[in-house]
Structure 1
């Protein structure tokens, strides 16, 4: 891919994914119950091989071979999420949540953890969840209060709450972030793999605006051992941030897919709808509005692709990766909100009816500006990165 266009193979793959989402996945999504894990849909994603694309290849020694592996790169993930979102947001979200929940296991888990959980995740038989947010620490990952206290047998007991957790309480396992060293900020957080059937772990579904499952988790002395640690003790903040940096550009791709879907619906509607002696597209105000929607969508798309390409080229710890990921998520999610809202306005009352594409997108588009770091958090990350790498002024 150049900085300006996709190659023919990528373009064909995107078209194939849109068709697949519309014909194979959307019917399954429509049969699902809002607010609950749609296991037939997740299983179909596994059967079609789409979940395999969430994970980088690993070398013989277990280390990551890099995101350049065919079908596993950040750019490939963005193209897939954008294409699925265009035709079936539920399928896109189900796929993304599998990746978010299982990536800490894939990238930081032991051989035993990977062998136990990744095959069923890839097959769509096990549902994963990423349990970072808390009632008092939604976007401030360094302020976690879920306590991991030593239990005298070499393990810990988890006590506290998690909230706003996608796929909770119906997931099969959780990547959980808990405080192992009080008062240590980001340096005192450890990541654990916690199976859903672990004693003392309970959950409650939350009734949210967006249709995918979100819930709260309660930990009442849930025991975890050394074998449950993901990565290193007190180094869980790095596990969380590398996971978010991996998926933030593709959150932007999800948003771009929704924006493009709304834009195309608007083009079709304004070309056909008659008003004031002609079609809506003949009105200069409408034409200018559509041009603005299209321009912003394309700008967001290019920033998402650039952030993903940088991740593929430099790796998760590369220079500027956090800044690029934050910029991509920020502009794409804010743009999608603008485009979908403008599309609703140009469609009029029909877009507000239950079951209309734009009514669906209007509910879906709001959440991405908050989850995986709200827009304000992304701006904070961008500013921090800019000042941290500010060049010395000339003498």
Structure 2
């Protein structure tokens, strides 16, 4: 298999996923409440075995899943992706106990995961995050006031907080996270906090933080998004060495490793939306009467459709190439991932916008496929690294390669 063609079995699987998304997932998505976790939808993804595949598949399979689901049900695609984004650090860097506790529940859809990296002042510049993990020294109090949990279930029991005899193995998280998908309704968060002040990317640690930890509260944000996005407040939230993902002060590697895997698949999500918009446009322009013929007979229309198809296929090929490079552990994965996300998300914006233009006013009606896609397609150009950030990554990789010659 090459990056430029798929095996018949893969093509058949993609077709099956599109059918499942339309027949089993779309009805559940339609019953969901915008801005809140659709637990019934997540549970169905688990029962279909798709969430479990997040931990057994490579980057290319992840891309195929996301593109196929996005084509017929963007809400199902996003629910699957967020489970993967929040839980992948646990799968890749967690202890045996962390994995045993959370991954089976993520796989069956009974636990909601979230990836908590962004902050009000540290979005694109993730290395500038300010959430503090302050070491708890011997002699400090072993408990503090316990506010309501972020899910409103009352004050949970606090863990023991005695300091380890060989040094501070316990911390208190203080600060804020913002723009966090699935917050404040997730059951656990992969949280990135500063353990070494002034050390930039080298002083960040990843923690697995259950939502019921005392001092952790959250609030939803009213966003242009069908899934929940919120802010989290950390008021001396207790964490211990048992909550660390990977190594202390090496959490930025956890974050970047996760993003390098998921960035091409963000592109796949975008390609799925672009393909849905393109197919809708083909059907509309072939059947719409205009100026004594069909809309497709107008050269300006047919050339526009050809351009939409050209860009969509180019984006798909770049996504597949980046995913294949990740699966092959190639050295240029960061640059390829950035290129794939950049091209695919910008392409999807172009294709959906062109599709709306060719459909006319009907595409602006609430509930129309293109009205839905027009709202959905904007955010991927920002999250997991805005387009401008991706260009910076690409340039950095190019100059590093040039200097190494």
Confirm or deny a common fold (TM above 0.5): yes
Verify the 8 A CA contact 2:204 2:249 in the aligned structure 1.
yes
- Identify the residue that residue 15 of structure 1 maps to in structure 2: 15
- Identify the residue that residue 226 of structure 1 maps to in structure 2: 241
Deviation at 1:3, TM superposition (A): 3.6
- Identify the residue that residue 339 of structure 1 maps to in structure 2: 351
Counterpart among 244, 253, 263 of residue 268 in structure 2:
253
Tell me, which stretches of 5 or more residues in structure 1 are unaligned?
A: 57-71
- Identify the residue that residue 38 of structure 1 maps to in structure 2: 38
After superposition, the C-alpha distances for 1:239-267 in whole angstroms (9 at most, x for unaligned) are 00000001000000000000000000000
Determine helix, strand or coil for the equivalent of 1:310: helix
Q: CA RMSD in A?
A: 0.8
The change in CA–CA distance for 1:392 and 1:47 in structure 2 (over 3 A counts) is: closer
After superposition, the C-alpha distances for 1:272-291 in whole angstroms (9 at most, x for unaligned) are 11111111100000000000
- Identify the residue that residue 130 of structure 1 maps to in structure 2: 115
| Distance in structure 2 (CA, Å) of the matches to 1:265 and 1:52 | 32
Report whether the alignment pairs 1:144 with 2:144.
no
Deviation at 1:53, TM superposition (A): 1.3
| Distance in structure 1 (CA, Å) of the matches to 2:403 and 2:33 | 53
After superposition, the C-alpha distances for 1:12-64 in whole angstroms (9 at most, x for unaligned) are 000000000000000000000000000000000000000011113xxxxxxxx
**Radius of gyration: which is bigger?**
2
| Distance in structure 1 (CA, Å) of the matches to 2:277 and 2:240 | 48
Tell me, which stretches of 5 or more residues in structure 2 are unaligned?
A: 138-162, 164-168
Report whether the alignment pairs 1:212 with 2:227.
yes
- Identify the residue that residue 250 of structure 2 maps to in structure 1: 235
Return the TM-score normalized by structure 1: 0.94
| Distance in structure 2 (CA, Å) of the matches to 1:4 and 1:275 | 38
Determine helix, strand or coil for the equivalent of 1:139: coil
Verify the 8 A CA contact 2:4 2:320 in the aligned structure 1.
no
- Identify the residue that residue 119 of structure 1 maps to in structure 2: 104
Verify the 8 A CA contact 2:132 2:174 in the aligned structure 1.
yes
| Distance in structure 2 (CA, Å) of the matches to 1:18 and 1:213 | 24
| Distance in structure 2 (CA, Å) of the matches to 1:107 and 1:127 | 18
- Identify the residue that residue 60 of structure 1 maps to in structure 2: none
| Distance in structure 2 (CA, Å) of the matches to 1:380 and 1:55 | 30
| Distance in structure 2 (CA, Å) of the matches to 1:52 and 1:254 | 19
Deviation at 1:4, TM superposition (A): 2.9
- Identify the residue that residue 82 of structure 2 maps to in structure 1: 97
The change in CA–CA distance for 1:151 and 1:257 in structure 2 (over 3 A counts) is: same
Counterpart among 354, 364, 368 of residue 356 in structure 1:
368
Deviation at 1:182, TM superposition (A): 0.3
| Distance in structure 2 (CA, Å) of the matches to 1:141 and 1:110 | 25
Off by >3 Å, runs of 4+ in structure 1:
none
Determine helix, strand or coil for the equivalent of 1:207: coil
Write out aligned runs for 1:32-181 (5 A): 32-56=32-56, 72-152=57-137, 153=163, 154-181=169-196
After superposition, the C-alpha distances for 1:123-173 in whole angstroms (9 at most, x for unaligned) are 000000000000000111100000010111230000000000000000000
Deviation at 1:389, TM superposition (A): 1.1
